[in-house]
Amino acid sequence: MNDASAPPAATGKGLAKSAGALAGLKVIDLTRVLGGPYCTMILSDHGADVIKIEPPQGDEVRDWGPPFVEHEDGTRDASYFIGVNRNKHSLSLDLGKPEGRKVLLRLLEGADILVENFKPGGMDKWGLGYEADLEPKFPGLIHCRVSGFGGHGPMGGLPGYDAILQAMTGLMSINGDPSTGPMRMGTPIVDLATGLYSVIAILMALNERHRSGRGQFLDMTLHDCGMALLHPQAANFFLNGRRPMPTGNPHPNLAPYEKYQTATCEIFLASGNDGQFRKLCEALGVPGLAADPRFLSNADRLANRQALIDAFAATLVAQDGEALCMKLLKMGLPAGPVRPVDVSMAADHTAAREMVTELGDYRGLGTPIKLSRTPGGTRGVPPRFAEHSEEVLARHGFTAEEIAALEKDGIVHTTRRR
């Protein structure tokens, strides 16, 4: 097995150029779907050794396609799985059997972090609860549980899904515009945010462990992380008591802050203060707008937003959008062309920032975390189901005979159970 802590020898793009800031950390990953795997991929990008333990049927997002990558043996993996599981070592274990849980306990020896997304109480029923079982055996272990609603409260223990939490936390109610009504955000923002917040929590716990020598339990939920994204709508509500409504592209607190059509493309313009607005008006050749009593202050512009939109639209419709945005940005003014995903992926700056990574046939989004001395990046392609089972087990002291017995008894699986 390739050493996941070392940068790959292969050539490609966006590859790790160092062992990584988290080299030496061992992560046992019991997560499936998106929030948890996204968290552990971030850790793996920066050198953590992540052992992904899948149930016998596999992580279900291997089937969330098309599109799929088709393997020579007739199996296939969906883009949804490929996008959040690079750099990991894959093992399949039946934790529903006592023997499977014994294997897990051996794998946890020397582990720094356990990340799982079983429903609250699930691990406890298996004799793997943090306080009663894992903390006494592994006092330095950081146990991060990702769940929908947590283990307490009126909804404690209930399952959570990204779109459902977008709906329940209010995120959907502020997306879209008055004509569409509440609308799901196109990216699974709650799952992704939960993965990000979980990484932050893990790093905080690691830092605290340097002082105390002790691990702790991290209770991460889609509900809480979705709520935490409600800015500035929650702040506005706390101050004025009015229910936030969907506004579409315009910002609830700023004007101008919207999309405009030019001769070549749609662009987005914004101003953060009155001075910036005056400079924008001069750059667009309409300096008189800045002296118009309707637009003197941000509060004035909010009160007369539609008149401002109409005035800007008239002057922008004949301009080259891409060229204008570059001109404005060089002047320090917020502006950008509205690009589809494929155009964004092909942009020169995307390449310069290594935000598309490649290794062999694998292509994915690169890591946005840029460290000067210990840069992270792609170390290995997303694993096939149970690809590293024998290697992982042998590394943890299992003999060839023990591994064969585990496979024979259906504890370790090398092919997906359908």
In whole angstroms, how far apart are CA 65 and each of 7, 62, 83, 92, 345? 30, 8, 12, 21, 21
- For CA atoms 20, 21, 23, 29, give the dihedral sign: negative
Q: Residue 152, class by beta-carbon neighbours within 10 Å (0-12 exposed, 13-18 middle, 19+ buried)?
A: exposed
> Buried (b) or exposed (e) across 394-418, using 16+ Cβ within 10 A?
eeeebeeeebeebbeeebbbeebee
Look up 191 and say whether it is catalytic.
Answer: yes
Structure tokens that stand for 163 in this block: 């779109």
Structure tokens that stand for 352 in this block: 């310069």
Q: Do 127 and 101 touch, CB atoms closer than 8 A?
A: yes
Q: Which entry of 49, 191, 219, 292 is annotated as an active-site residue?
A: 191
d(CA 63, CA 300) in angstroms, rounded, equals 52
d(CA 84, CA 90) in angstroms, rounded, equals 13
DSSP letters spanning 236-264: HHHHH-PPP---SSS-SS-SSEEEEE-SS
DSSP three-state, residue 184: coil
Find the radius of gyration of the CA atoms of the chain: 25
DSSP three-state, residue 195: helix
Within 10 Å of residue 22's Cβ, how many Cβ atoms? 24
The residues with which 145 forms a beta bridge, in sequence order, are 116, 219
Which H/E stretch holds residue 78?
A: strand 76-78
| Residues catalogued as catalytic | 191
